A and B are shown apart, each in its own frame.
Chain A
Amino acid sequence: MSLPVRPETDRQIDTLLTRFPRKGSALLPALHLIQGEKGHIPEEAMEYVAGKIGVSPAFVMGVVSFYTMFQRAPIGRHHIQVCMTLPCALRGAGGVMKHLEKRLGIRRGQTTSDGRFTLSAVECLGTCDTAPMFQVNEDEHGHLDAKKVDAILERLK
């Protein structure tokens, strides 16, 4: 059976297996590596990593489905994660989300048909002094208004 990940990823996961006092701890870092390479965690990858760690594929599915950052299906190139929790809501997060839904022509939870953007509502990202804000992939953008949002979207190809 061919590897569902690149040899380099496979080697990094092997290194992880000996990094911790118990092998099981390697699971979350391994899942981060897999998603880092593939953008999401397909079922073959879950079966593969289950074999590496020594747990069942169902166990891995349980872990993947528990944590909000792990994606089970492909998402857009730019994942726009809008914080909607109360401190951001107080400063207009609802308006930012509505504006994005209108601009992108999709509802929260969806991906644009050209695969460019996925739009998600997320919980508190721990940067409430820059509210309202969103995170695009790994980058935080705060003090948002409609104009700033449009400028950011424009830059994201």
Chain B
Amino acid sequence: MAFEPLLTRNIHKENPASIATYLASGGYQGLARVLKEFTPEAFVEEVKNSGLRGRGGAGFPCGVKWGFLPKGLDRPRYLCVNADESEPGTFKDRLLIEKDPHLVLEGIIASAYAIRCSLAFFYIRGEFHGPCRTFERAIEEARAKGFLGKNILGSGFDLDLIVYRGAGAYICGEETALLESLEGKRGLPRIKPPFPAVVGLYGCPTIINNVETLANVTLIAERGAAWFAGIGRPKNTGPKLFCLSGHVKRPGVFEAPLGIPLLELIHEHAGGMLHPDRPLKAAVPGGSSMKILPAAKCDVLMDFDSLAAVGTALGSAGGFVMDTSVCIVDALLNLARFYAHESCGQCTPCREGTGWFVKILTRLENGDGKPGDVDLLAEVASRVEGNTICPFGEAIAWPVQSYVAAFRDEFESHVTRRACPLGAAAGRS
């Protein structure tokens, strides 16, 4: 089924990242409309009415978050763009940054206007060298045309935008760790409350928004909240970039309205399973932190509420697919190593729990698993979940809980057989 590309409307053009290309197809007219026809507060309402939910992983309503800013202007407000994209399986923000930076930039400017911010930061993961350079070029182009700087389009609104590179830390995608990093420190998440909207960057009211969220703000600026809310379904509105990787023929980013069936994404957009003789075993819908769906549960719609209803979540929409060649224990061990490596170490349950997951899964995979190990995995996970400063605890607890719950027999057989039934398997490094 073909959908009108909205977020991906420019990515296949020649010179897609240039402002000339962007302007030629009506770019920056949305911003002009907002600056002319909306007060900042009225555009906050507009974004609220669109139903836009954050595209970074939490799915929190964007306009509602903006509404948490305190009314006073005694302290500056900051907008931080979260371009730290590091959730395994996710590669949609980099696509926008590289192939349509102005779509993102226009949304940044309109959002900064709405929240009365005059200094914004673009926090991009350090490893994205090429995308960073492309975005810096786009900023220079926008500045030259007066879309950034003083008195934008004669509106009286000023905005400066600073690009800030991370240096390799998955945890800096968590909004408060991002703020700590931006302040020049180790990326250790902060306790919430207070929330960044009240006490954020340099202690000032701050909004952190994902790249794709801001690209959607551009669409709302162009065509309005009512149009946006007509895409998808109530509480799950708007177009979405879905990533699919793993054992599919055509891994990539696919745009569709929220609510497309997962199986349609896998079999139509991504070309189906990679090997004809290796059917689907499981899929993770939204980045490695989200609970796994065994094949029998993959007949599900890809939106926030539909996935929550079946016990998982859309997350970053960084989906990946595993076929029957995969040892689920080995796959989970791979993830456990990732989370153990990336844990900031502040919270005892996470710091120690991730270490225990690696230890137990390693001995299971090596055939040295002890009776009770599978229960131990679930028990440790239950002591991590809900007991940490930031959602990183859930990010490892959920995979452990869900892989064990969905594939318990496979875990148990590692213990009883004293070996991995599949031998050398997919996640093995």
Binding site for B on A (CB under 8 A): 19-22, 24-29, 31-32, 53, 62-63, 66-70, 84-87, 89-91, 93-94, 97, 121-131, 135, 138, 140
Contact = CB atoms under 8 A, between A and B. Distances in A.
Interface string B244-256: 1111000111000
A20 B204 CA distance: 14
B22 interface: no
Interface of B: 76, 85-91, 93-94, 119, 125-130, 162, 164-170, 181-187, 202, 243-247, 251-253, 288, 318, 320, 322, 326, 331, 334-335, 338, 341-342, 426-429
A66 B247 CA distance: 33
A32 B182 CA distance: 14
Contacts of A70: 167-168
Contacts of A86: 88-89, 288, 320, 331, 334-335, 338, 427
A28 B87 CA distance: 22
Contact of B86 (A27, A87, A126): A126
Contacts of A67: 126, 166-169, 187
Given A85-B338, A123-B342, A126-B90, A97 B247 contact: no
A122 B427 CA distance: 14
A129 B245 contact: yes
> Residue among A24, A27, A125 with the most chain B CB within 10 A?
A125
A20 B202 CA distance: 10
A129 B252 contact: yes
Contacts of B184: 22, 24-28, 53, 63
Contact of A94 (B129, B185, B322, B429): B429
Contacts of A127: 91, 94
Contacts of B428: 89, 94
Contact of A22 (B88, B126, B127, B183): B183
> Residue among B90, B245, B318 with the most chain A CB within 10 A?
B245
Contact of A90 (B76, B90, B126, B322): B322
Contacts of A20: 162
A122 B253 CA distance: 23
Given A67-B168, A90-B246, A94-B428, A24 B185 contact: yes
A25 B182 CA distance: 6
Contacts of A26: 184
Contact of A62 (B88, B183, B186, B341): B186
B429 A91 contact: no
Contacts of B170: 123-124
Contacts of B187: 66-67
Nearest to A32: B165
A62 B184 CA distance: 11
Contacts of B88: 85-87, 123-124, 128
